[in-house]
Structure 1
């Protein structure tokens, strides 16, 4: 199992993919956990998930953990394939539970839609799929762990 989770190539592609994905997700996770970047912080976000969206607390908690800890793990290159799989599940759920599917494909650039479409989510899913295929690449904890296995 360790070999599957930590297996990676020593290339730049995995590094670029995981850093792009991790650096895009980190601010969203930091909003939810720390209240950075104008975010609500952990307690308010959990309240929003459970009392406004009526999402079970465990699912809300997992959303926050995947976006925050998953982003940090990706940046470090730790268990990147596992993090990427969790992100795929999360963003697939966001498309449908977050009602982005009903808003169509495009983001709401001009404010003329009910809400955001799902194009951003598909980009995240595509990056995560590429991380699963490629691995963490250069300068990753996974690479160190692969040699330790």
Structure 2
């Protein structure tokens, strides 16, 4: 349990977790709350289960991990667990949806869809967060310091 919270007051994990958390939060909020033009929990569950064909449990976990994982990264609470959840979502999205579209994002609108470069960057930040923990100004550090 101690390893879950253990981290050092370093700036690199702070930058990695904040960057990823801030980028992921709007995506999670779209799916969970319907913010930023999203469909909310019910609409996203319907899309994932009916259109994408995900089992309901997996669809729920995707929404849960994106929303609460991003909050965990921003606050530095359960950083490693949050990173693993988001990494699973990014890996699944890259392999199931984006891999056939190639590497690059669809900047020019010429591809059938988005490539997987964004997901690779997110996975890289997840690895940093998993290895280093929350770092400077994290709730993990505050919790670990009390043990």
TM-score range, shorter chain: over 0.9
Partner of residue 58, structure 1? 57
Match of 1:112 among 110, 128, 135: 110
Partner of residue 69, structure 2? 70
**1:26 and 2:25 are equivalent in the alignment:** yes
Alignment of 1:1-149 (within 5 A): 2-98=1-97, 100-149=98-147
Residues 97-126 of structure 1, C-alpha deviation per residue, up to 9 Å, x if partnerless? Answer: 12x111100000011001100000000000
Q: How well do the aligned residues superpose, as a CA RMSD in angstroms?
A: 0.8
Runs of 4+ in 1 over 6 A off after TM superposition: none
Local SS of the residue matching 2:8: coil
Residues 69-112 of structure 1, C-alpha deviation per residue, up to 9 Å, x if partnerless? Answer: 110011110110111112111111111112x1111000000110
- 1:79, 1:43 → 2: CA distance? 26
Length-normalised TM-score, structure 1: 0.96
Residues 17-63 of structure 1, C-alpha deviation per residue, up to 9 Å, x if partnerless? Answer: 11101000000000011111111111100000111111011000000
Q: Which runs of 5+ in 1 are unaligned?
A: none
Q: How far did residue 12 of structure 1 move?
A: 1.3
Q: How far did residue 148 of structure 1 move?
A: 2.3
Local SS of the residue matching 1:86: helix
